[in-house]
Amino acid sequence: MTAGGPPHAEVALVDLLDRLLAGGVVITGDLSLCIADVELVRISLRALLTSVEGATEGILT
């Protein structure tokens, strides 16, 4: 997985997160943690991550 742009241009994760937040992201998923076929933890995820100004600019409309 590489970021777009010129090759070898390192993009720090923090910059990636910054851009992601500016646009807003939705994360959905189901996680279950099992040990020895025993399901111990189940996480059902539906998350919206966005910067506050992004949310006020029609992402949610």
Partner 1 sequence: MDKDTVERDLVRLVLTVVELLRQLMERQAIRRVERNNLTEEQEERIGMTLMILDDRMTELRTRYDLSPEDLNLDLGPLGPLLPRQEGRH
Binding site for partner 1 (CB under 8 A): 1-3, 10-15, 17-18, 21-22, 51, 53
Task: Please provide the size of the chain in residues.
Answer: 61
Query: Least distance in Å: CB of 8 to partner 1?
Result: 10
Q: Three-state SS across 6-39?
A: CCCCCCCHHHHHHHHHHHCEEEEEEEEEEECCEE
Collapsing DSSP states into helix, strand and coil, what is residue 58? helix
Nearer Cβ to partner 1, position 1 or 35? 1
**Considering the complex, what minimum distance in angstroms separates the CB of residue 27 from partner 1?**
17
Is the CB of 13 or the CB of 41 nearer to partner 1? 13
